[in-house]
Structure formats: structure tokens, C-alpha cells
Amino acid sequence: MITFICDILICFITLGISFMPAQDEKALKRATNIVKNISAFCGLAGILIVGTGIYIGGTIEMHGYIYVVLLIQSIIFGILILIGVYMRKKGYSLFLHIITIILTIIALSIYIYYVIASFLYY
């Protein structure tokens, strides 16, 4: 049961992270077209990767990598929330938006590792 809860938490945290670059409409109005396209691609990639991971992933036993992935995804999610709050208070910053996109790509890469590891350690 705890494995299922951790698996669902990891999936939804990753899905939430994938939509973080496109969270603020005011910031996206001031962003360049390249940044807008990358933000949209991160959201689409998140939907595709998490959907595929839910369909083919999952384990029966708890392994150490599940806790590590859950911890890393939670830390990245917290950092992205803090960046979003800061951008709403102080205004748009291209540097922070690029950092948000980089953290999103890292989180999606970690999720891909999580799905692959669920096959290797099954």
C-alpha cells in the first residue's frame, strides 16, 4: 500500500513540476517566443512521460530508489514554488525562468530514471 502511495505521489509531483514553467500568465507575456515554446514543451513532455510511466511503471516492493526519487522531486517542487512566489512578488526575470525550465528538465529526467529503475529492480 505504501508503495502505491509513493508511486502516485511521485507521478503527481512530477506532473505538477512539468507545468511550473508556464504557471504565471504575466511572466509568459513578457517572455520570448523561445522560452514560451520550451515552457509548453515541458508541459507536454510531462504529460507524455508521466502518462507512460503510470501505464508501464510501478513496483510491488519498496526499494531505496523510491525514497530518493520522492525526496529529490519534493525538493525540486519546493524550490520551484519558492521561485514562483519570488517572481510574482518581484516581477519577471528571464534568468529565473530559465532556471525553472532547467529544474523541470532535471525532474523529468529523474522520473525517467524512476520508471527504468522500476523495471531493473522488479
pLDDT tier for residue 97 given thresholds of 50, 70 and 90: confident
pLDDT at res. 26: 66
What percent of the chain has a predicted confidence (pLDDT) above 90?
25
- Predicted model pTM: 0.86
Q: Per-residue pLDDT for 90 more than 80? A: yes
pLDDT at res. 27: 65
Query: SS3 letters for the chain?
Result: CHHHHHHHHHHHHHHHHHCHHHCCHHHHHHCCHHHHHHHHHHHHHHHHHHHHHHHHCCCCCCCHHHHHHHHHHHHHHHHHHHHHHHHHHHCCCHHHHHHHHHHHHHHHHHHHHHHHHHHHCC
